[in-house]
Structure 1
Amino acid sequence: MAETFKALSDDFLRFTGEIVWCTLTSVDDHGHPRSRILHPIWEVIDDRPVGWIATGRTPVKTRHLDNNPHVSFSYWSPAQSVVLGEAVASWVDDPATKRHIWDLFTTTPPPLGYDLRITGADGPESPAFTPLRLDPSRVQVLDGAEFPRNFTPRTAVLGVSG
């Protein structure tokens, strides 16, 4: 049974913040999935999760997202805590939003935050700084600490966004 995102947001933010790295899967123009490991930071904006990723705007990612902006993401910890989701991904070009994302990554304590200059970008205006936004339409969280008593994920359906 679906819940509101607000009902599971604490677990969503806790697990994504503790696990840090997620697998994000896009689809190529032949319908084949391609997965990669990425490092989002999540915020809640207007009661919805929004993920920000400082990633390379590679030809492969650009082609995939131009063809189909829908992606899936997953986090897993050895304690069997899991976060799963589907989202619309979009490149961020707006200077004010890029500044916000730059500041978010550089002021959030490690391991979630980090110095984005290691990516070759020298600031939010740098062409090497190409953030990606994730607007989930559905998220699931599973608290592995509840196993074996309860191994049913909690789900929030957020509808189409992005």
Structure 2
Amino acid sequence: MENNPRTTYSYGNPRQDAVFVDSVSQWVEDPETKRYAWDPYVKGSQVGGLPDHPAAVLLSLAPIPRPTEGGVREQATVR
């Protein structure tokens, strides 16, 4: 991601429901933000679930601006 932060993520399940996300990604280094994002999952996970570790990896995903008919770029809407 250092040279090109544009990333694509995908998810699918046996029913063929699929989600694709194109984004600009960056590593989150701030311990407070990482804990804020991680704590709800740790508290709700089963034994053997997510690790309760402040060094856990966290990515920040931002939508990629998309071109419009006039060629002006606008921010994509996240829903």
Same fold (TM over 0.5): yes
Moved over 6 A (4+): none
> Equivalent residues in 2 for 1:1-162 (5 A)?
65-109=1-45, 114-117=49-52, 123-124=53-54, 126=55, 129-137=56-64, 158=76
* Structure with the largest fraction of strand: 1
Query: What is the CA–CA distance in structure 1 between the aligned matches of 2:64 and 2:41, rounded to whole Å?
Result: 24
Structure 2: where are the runs of 5+ without partners? 66-74
- Rounded Cα–Cα distance in structure 1 between residues aligned with 2:40 and 2:27: 17
Percent of aligned pairs with the same amino acid:
33
- Match of 2:15, SS state, is coil
Q: Deviations over 1:122-153 (max 9, x none)?
A: x31x4xx2322222338xxxxxxxxxxxxxxx
Normalised by the size of structure 1, how large is the TM-score? 0.35
Distance 1:108 1:134 in 2: 23
CA–CA distance in structure 2, aligned partners of residues 75 and 130 of structure 1: 19
Structure 1 unmatched runs, 5+: 1-64, 118-122, 139-156
Tell me which protein shows more helix as a share of its residues: 1
